[in-house]
Each structure stands twice: as structure tokens, then as C-alpha cells.
Amino acid sequence: MITGPQITLAHGGGGTMMQDFLHDVVLPRLHNPALDDLADAAVLACPHGGELAFTTDSFVVQPLFFPGGDIGHLAVCGTVNDLAVMGAKPAALSLACILESGVPMDVVARVMDSVKASAADAGVPVVTGDTKVVEKGQADQMYLTTSGVGWRLPHAPAGWRSVQKGDAVMVSGSIGHHGVAVLAARAALPFTTPLSSDCAPLNGIVGLLLEAEREVRWMRDPTRGGLAAALNELAVQAGVGIELDAAAVPLADDVKGAAEMLGLDPLYLANEGRFVVVCPASRADKAIAVLRSHPLGRGAARIGTVTGPMPRGRVVMNTGFGGTRIVDMPSGEQLPRIC
């Protein structure tokens, strides 16, 4: 075991520390083909045909409310998005609440309002749930856990095993909004224009893409650990190199400015309403056009290329001055409790 004698915040950060924890502590005990893939959702065959996607996430974001969202909105979108990027049409959500004794009822009600609005926006009902209450001081107001089930679409991506040299790498919009919005809210930073999270349900735009383009190979929503973690996971699993073009990565001025001020790299900032798409290079222009036709994909861009076999995987970025930089897997999260 190389994960150390105690749990640390970095074990929940979506980086190498979490990967080590999963590979050292969890997978040796619970391994099975579905779990071992560490995908955004597990895929199960249904008895009468078709496939079920099944996913879960806990949400411990702090503060509960931030520009562009709150823990309820995040919990619904996070789970809807994990189903969507696995090529599934979300069918239903569960919601388990761990509430702290003493939390004001109107805070709970506001979060439930948000769950309602987000579930309606995504078109996915919350069909089952649970409520537990712990003593004051034991849950930082509230933690939510959403799980989701969905039916895999006929043209769901085949996943990392299908990724090939020459494939195009795209992102559906500018990155880092969620990470800087939560951090700004937490620190009460005085930005002149409020930074807003990108948190949104992606099932609509993903459905549009998969209907129009049947050769999407792989998708992921780059949450904890950001674009860097998502692409490194793909590179390691598929055993490929990925080359990014720094100038092509969409980045809003306000996010760029805030990240610079805070000393954070946007590639590692969490996103909650963006997704990465890999498809054959010959289909990239069409895929970008489809993405841009949807309100959540206006900023879609091709950002790089799969460069070929690389047994341990590697992500590099052309900096635009003839240089390249290795984009490593983060070890922990720059910002704990971002989701």
C-alpha cells in the first residue's frame, strides 16, 4: 500500500492520490469488469435487451451556494452528465441527503428548489431518496449523493478501447468556470464581474451529437482535476499520447484573469457543464458544427490530437512558441470540496 496511513484531502481530489487509493484499497477488494474500468458510469446488460448505465457521486461542495449554481444543481447535473457522457439517456435519479442537525429548513428548501429546477431542466425525475440527520458539527450543513440510471443509446461511444492515433480531441466550451466560481465564492473575492459556474445538464447536447455523429469514440466530463485529469486518464487507459494546442483551448478572459491572480492552472480547474469528445479527425469539423448549434456548445473547439501508442500515456501541450510542456496528472485537487 502506497496511499499512506491516513486519508487526506488529496485522496478525494481526482488525481494520482485518488487513483492510488482506488488501485490499492478499493479495486483489489471489489474488482469486477464494470468497476475496473473506472468509467463515469457502469454499463449492465438488461435481461430483455439493451444496456443500463448506472452511476453515483457524492457532493460536498463548499459553500453550498455559489454564482451559477448550488449543491442541488450540481448534484443533479453531475449525475446526469456522468450518464450522458457514457452515451446513455438519463431515465431517473436518486437523491440521498445527509443533513446536519440545526441547518435552517429554508436552506434545505432552497436546495430542493434547485434540485427541482435542475431535474426539470434535464428532464429527469428524482424517483427515490433517503434522508439521514447527523449531530451538529458532523456534516457541514449538508452532503448530497445522487445516483442515476439511464438507457444506453444505439450509437453510444465504444470508449477508450476504440481511441486511435490521429483522432481529434474536442471540448464543448471554455474551461475552468466552475472551479474559479466556487473558489471566488468561498474566498468572497471581489471580482468586478461575478464569475459564474458552467454547471449544466449535458444530456441534451450529448444526445444531439450522438444522433448526428455515429463515430464518437470517447466522451468525458472534466470535473475534479479538470481537462488535465480527464485527458491523462484517457491517455493512460488507451496507452496513447495526446497533443494539445495551447492557443486552441477555449478560455474566457474572466477565468483566465482569476486563475492568474489565484495562481491556478485552468487545465486543472473543475468543469461541471463541459465535455471532452474524441472522434476520427475526418469527423471533427462536423462534430464541432453540431456542438456549436446547441446553446451549451457555442464555444466548442478542437484542442488537440491523439498522437499514437505511448504505453504509459502522456499529454503534452504545444505552448505556441515552439515549445511543449507535459501536462501531468494532478496528484490531488488544487481546490478541495469543489463538487
Among 23, 65, 67, 103, binds its own copies (CB under 8 A): 103
Show contacts with its own copies in window 309-338 (CB under 8 A). 336-337
Which of 13, 32, 14, 16 minimizes the C-alpha distance to 3? 16
Return all residues near 72 (Cβ < 8 A) that are at least 6 apart.
110, 111, 112, 113, 114, 115, 118, 144
C-alpha cell at 336: 478541495
Using CB under 8 A as the binding rule, whether residue 63 contacts its own copies is answered as: no
Q: Cβ of residue 242: shortest distance to its own copies, in angstroms?
A: 25
Q: Which is nearer to its own copies, 40 or 254 (CB)?
A: 40
Contact string 111-150 vs its own copies (x = CB under 8 A): -xx-xx--x-----xxxxxxxxxxx-xxxx--x-x-x-x-
Residue from 63, 64, 90, 109 in contact with its own copies (CB under 8 A): 109
| Region of 21-29, 158-166, 202-210, 295-303 interacting with its own copies (CB under 8 A) | 21-29
Burial class of residue 221 (count of CB atoms within 10 Å of its CB; 0-12, 13-18, 19+) = buried
Question: Could you tell me the smallest distance in angstroms from the CB atom of residue 61 to its own copies?
Answer: 9
User: Number of residues in contact with its own copies, rule: CB under 8 A?
Assistant: 83
Nearest to 64 by CA among 147, 189, 185: 185
Copy the grid coordinates of residue 93: 435519479
Write down the least CB distance from residue 225 to its own copies, Å.
13
92 binds its own copies (CB under 8 A): yes
Part of the chain binding its own copies (CB under 8 A), chosen from 99-107, 171-179, 180-188, 247-255: 99-107
Cα–Cα distance measured from residue 152 to residue 53, given in angstroms and rounded to the nearest whole number: 6
Q: Choose between 87 and 250: whose C-beta lies nearer to its own copies.
A: 87
- Residue 268 interacts with its own copies (CB under 8 A): yes or no: no
Q: Tell me the three state secondary structure of residue 195.
A: coil
| Cell numbers describing residue 41 | 458510469
For the CB of residue 252, give the shortest distance to its own copies in the complex, in Å. 27
CB of 132 or CB of 165, closer to its own copies = 132
- Distance, CA of 2 to chain centre: 26
Peptide bond preceding 63 in cis form (omega within 30 of 0):
yes
